[in-house]
Each structure stands twice: as structure tokens, then as C-alpha cells.
């Protein structure tokens, strides 16, 4: 399940007044949820037995198979993670020293539906695998792309200079550009 979570993208979500990054993976018999505010990371992984027990505690009037329950939870969370929140569903969270609780209130078959995600602090290995390593890899890829683009700009400047040396002139002066200054670009990039 956690390896399936690795393929899920992080999404920016708002629970109450707080902004978080979150990702989740739901299957017929379990789920895993990962939430971060970029200073802490929390997660919950729940199997069918946990889901069944919690659903009975929170939704006494609903008798639904665990797989249907998980499917409904997925239908509530996935649109939220895609940036589309259902007006009939509300999310709120509560932070405590022991973790983070995410409360969901919605409807299922015309009846009130409640769910609580009980997230505990994520282990360092999980934070590294899902947050730190992908960020470092992305940073390295972006640095490589900046180097390639810098090289391409320097080649283009050399090509333009050769055209000018052979007597070519711009027909529209507004298209004239200053030669690319790699050192100035790097200083501005680091300052930003």
C-alpha cells in the first residue's frame, strides 16, 4: 500500500483555516493517508478491521460493507486532493501533541456520514521516502535543466553574434536582446 502511495502526487488542501500538503491511497481493504504542514508530517494506515470498527463507532445507523465504506471515503478524499471540494462535505482538523485528527462530515445514502482519520507522526524513513527524497531529486532535475538552458542561451548568443558579424541586421529593433550574462542570472536566481 505504501508503495502505491509513492506514485500519488502531493496536493495542496485546506482543512479549516490551515493549509496542508496531502496524499492518499485507498483500496478495497485498506487505506493510507499522509499529511504535512511542511514542519510536521502525519500519517494513518488503516486495514479493513480498523475501518469496520471505526465505522460502527462513528456511524451507528449505517450498515455498509467495509469495501463500500472505503470506496465512499475515496470518493470524498480524491476530489479534495484534485482541488474540487464537494459542498456537502466538510473537513476539519485538530492538532495535538500525539498527532493530527482529520474529521470528515458528509452523507451516505441520505444518512449523515462521519469519519475521523487519526494520524500519528510519520516515521523518519517515511518522511524521507515521500517528501525529502522526491524534493531533492526534483531540485537536481531543475538544476540540470537550468544548466542546459544556460548552455543553449549562450549558444544562441554566439549564433546571433555570428549573424551580426556577417552583416545581418534586425528588421524590427524591438526584437533586439542583450547578450545572456550567466553570472548575473545565477546571482539573481540565488537572490530570488
Which residue(s) pair with 18 in the sheet?
Answer: 15
∠115-120-126 over CA atoms, to 5°? 115
DSSP H helical ranges for the chain: 2-6, 48-58, 66-81, 124-127, 133-165, 182-191
Structure confidence by residue, pLDDT tens digits, 26-59:
999 999 999 999 899 999 999 999 999 998 899 8
CATH topology of domain 1-122: Dna Repair Protein Xrcc4; Chain: A, domain 1 (2.170.210)
In this predicted structure, what is the pLDDT of residue 12? 93
> What gap in Å lies between CA 153 and CA 161, rounded to an integer?
12
Q: What is the pLDDT of residue 65?
A: 85
Tell me the mean pLDDT in the region 63-81. Answer: 88
Q: pLDDT band for 96, please (50, 70, 90 cuts).
A: confident
Between CA 174 and CA 68 the distance in angstroms is 63
Is the pLDDT at 87 greater than 80, yes or no? no
pLDDT at 80 over 90: no
Residue 151 pLDDT: 92
Above 80 in pLDDT, residue 86? no
Q: How many helices (H) and strands (E) does the chain have?
A: 6, 7
Separation of alpha carbons 54 and 108, rounded Å: 16
> Is-contact 32 45, C-beta < 8 A?
yes
Q: What percent of the chain has pLDDT over 90?
A: 44
From 3.40.718.10, 3.40.50.1580, 3.30.70.20, 1.10.287.450, which CATH number describes the 129-191 domain?
1.10.287.450
In the chain, where the domains are located? 1-122, 129-191
Task: Tell me, yes or no, if the pTM score tops 0.85.
Answer: no
pLDDT of residue 18: 83
Share of the chain above pLDDT 70, in %: 100
Amino acid at each position: 500500500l505504501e508503495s502505491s502511495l509513492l506514485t500519488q502526487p502531493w496536493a495542496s488542501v485546506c482543512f479549516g483555516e490551515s493549509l496542508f500538503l496531502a496524499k492518499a491511497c485507498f483500496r478495497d481493504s485498506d487505506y493510507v493517508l499522509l499529511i504535512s504542514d511542511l514542519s510536521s508530517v502525519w500519517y494513518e494506515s488503516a486495514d479493513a478491521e480498523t475501518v469496520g470498527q471505526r465505522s460502527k463507532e462513528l456511524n451507528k445507523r449505517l450498515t455498509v460493507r467495509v469495501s463500500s465504506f472505503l470506496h465512499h471515503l475515496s470518493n470524498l478524499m480524491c476530489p479534495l486532493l484534485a482541488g474540487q471540494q464537494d459542498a456537502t462535505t466538510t473537513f476539519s482538523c485538530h492538532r495535538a501533541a500525539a498527532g493530527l485528527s482529520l474529521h470528515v462530515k458528509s452523507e451516505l445514502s441520505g444518512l449523515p456520514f462521519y469519519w475521523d482519520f487519526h494520524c500519528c507522526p510519520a516515521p523518519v524513513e517515511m518522511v524521507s521516502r515521500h517528501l525529502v527524497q522526491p524534493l531533492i531529486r526534483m531540485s537536481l532535475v531543475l538544476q540540470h535543466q537550468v544548466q542546459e538552458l544556460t548552455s543553449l542561451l549562450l549558444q544562441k548568443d554566439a549564433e546571433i553574434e555570428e549573424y551580426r558579424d556577417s552583416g545581418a541586421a534586425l528588421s524590427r529593433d524591438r526584437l533586439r536582446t542583450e547578450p545572456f550574462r550567466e553570472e548575473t542570472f545565477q546571482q539573481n536566481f540565488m537572490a530570488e
